[in-house]
Structures are given as C-alpha cells and as structure tokens.
Amino acid sequence: MNILITGGAGFVGQRLAMECLKRGNLELDGKPSPAITNILLADNAEPPFWHDGLREHELVTTSFGDISDEAYVKSLFNEEIHAVFHLASIVSGHGEQDFDLAMRVNLDGARYLFEAIRAQKNNCRVVFTSSVAAFGGDAMPETVSDYTKQTPMTTYGMTKVIGELLVNDYSRKGFFDGRSARLPTVIVRPGKPNLAASSFVSGLFREPLNGEPCVIPVDPSQLMPVLGYRSIINGIIKLAELPATDLGSDRGVGLPAFNATVQELMDALKNAAGNQHLGEHVMEKDETIAKICAGWPQQADTTRGLSLGLPMESSIEEIVHCYIEDYLDGTGS
C-alpha cells in the first residue's frame, strides 16, 4: 500500500506518517489493507526538523515542490497511490495577508491533486483536512455541528468549505472514496509559532513549559474548540478507515473537541504542570487575531464524530501530559 501525505513535512503530517508506520497498515472497511510499502511526504520545503529520524525510514520518501503547480502534483503519482491525506494549506492568518496565494495553494492545489487521484481510477481513499474555520458569519449559531450552514469569514475558511464540497462531489461521482476531517484547533504543537491565527493556543502551553512568557492576543473569555494532536492523528486515520456507508452523502465530519475558554486552557496548564516553574501569560490583545478568533465557532457539537468512534482525550490536562511525555521529558515517541 502506497500512501501520499501532502503537507507531510509539517507537525501533523510527520506524526501521521509515524503512526501509519507504527501500525503497518490501515483497517479499511473493517479489513486489514495490504502492508504499507511507501509513504510519500510532499511539502513545499524542508522542515526545521524531522521527528525520530522519519526521513531516513526505509519506507519513507520525500518530495518538495509547489502544490499549485499541476506538473509537480502529477509527478507525485509516478507510482500508484492507494491512500491520500491532503493536509497542505495556507493557514488562516497567512491567507488573510495573501489572498492570491491562498487561492492558488488551497483551491488550485486541491483541484490538481484531486484530478491526479481521479486519473488513477483505483477508488483511492482520500482524507482532506478541513477546519472549524469553515463556519462563521453573523448567522452562525453559538454551537455548530456537522449540520450547520457554512458561512466562513476568512479566506482560509472559504477554501476549506470549497474543499469539502469537492470531496463530496468527487466521491458522489465515484472518482475516489473521500472524506473531510473538520479539525478543531490542534494542541500542543512543538517548535515555533506558525501564521495561523490560533497559533497562540499551542503557545500558551508550550512557552510557559519552556520557562518562557507567552503573549495572549485575545480575551481570556474567548472560547476555542481544541483537541490534542494524538487524537487528531488517530481521528484522521479512523475517518480514513470507515466504510463510506457510515458517512452517507456528506463526507465532512467534525472531529471531537473540548469547548474551552482561553482562561480554562491556562488553568489546565497550571493543573497539569503541578509544581513546575512556568513562564507567565502576558495579556496583550491583538485586534486582528481577536477578530478572526471571534468569528470562528465558539463551541462545537461533535456528536456525529463521537458516534463514528473518533477519539478524544479525557481532559485538557491529559493533552498537556502527552506533550510533556513526547517532547519535554524524553520518554515519548
């Protein structure tokens, strides 16, 4: 089985590859797939670091190029691909700064990728990562679900809605067997902040645990649907494995999430850290980031995702402990 992960050099992409390698195969429709023979990690550039020697793994290959270049996308399919995880994207804050780039990467790139998958004619299993940023606008209810009308208020969110619709229609037409994983904010990402407006949410855990201050650009009362990266990875894989009959005609599924205020996230960090010295949280509002975050869903009803068996941690404190285990105390994977 050959797997392609776009955005494969990023944090989620690398951890997804590591989990697939650990499992050795996927359980598609309740049956073991053939063993994974290659995972192709495609991205626009080398990452600052590779997790656990991932790039040197005998079953991993890498490719770097522009996903909005149709010729480059076609080159990723020199060998038949049986499963695709499409993570590559211009993120929220960056998309607001550069509309044209977001359109090229998020829309043209997705279309070129989906057409290359379609050309294989092998009913490839496809997972597209969407976002709760697909929701927004004046008519957005306080709590959103898989059945809420999508009226995003960012360019990033708009491209995610279009991506979900493309997945639905390509699947309806039998071009591939797709599904969209609508992600909440992923915590806790290691390394440096990215250009996502929600990047500070990982920072409010990561920096204090490193003994460094973290600027909080929104009000402490701001609600944020969040989920730990282990559950994000396992949820993406679980969604890939589910039979199409479990999803029906709407292939977009919201992953489970904790609906927490920023203050509750900061409190969870202190509870999880115990007596460990922490860097301080510095409240310094950024109106641009605050406006973007306020325009996203405040709470998510993910009953459908839970009913499909998608996982979530028992608490936000558990997410913090997982991060400490994996990245700070040297005992994790």
Q: Which two tokens stand for residue 171?
A: 């699947």
Catalytic residue among 72, 112, 147, 156: 156
| Pairing relationship of beta strands 223-228 and 258-261 according to DSSP bridges | antiparallel
Sheet with 83-86, edge to edge strand ranges: 60-64, 38-43, 2-6, 83-86, 125-131, 177-183, 252-254
The answer to whether residue 170 is catalytic is no
Strand partners, 224: 260
CA dihedral 94→96→101→106, nearest 10 degrees, is 90
Q: Which of 225, 229, 297, 233 is nearest to 256 (CA)?
A: 225
User: Which positions ≥6 away from 293 have C-beta within 8 Å?
Assistant: 197, 198, 218, 222, 224
Q: What is residue 228's three-state secondary structure?
A: strand
Distance CA 33, CA 302 (A): 28
Residues marked as catalytic: 156
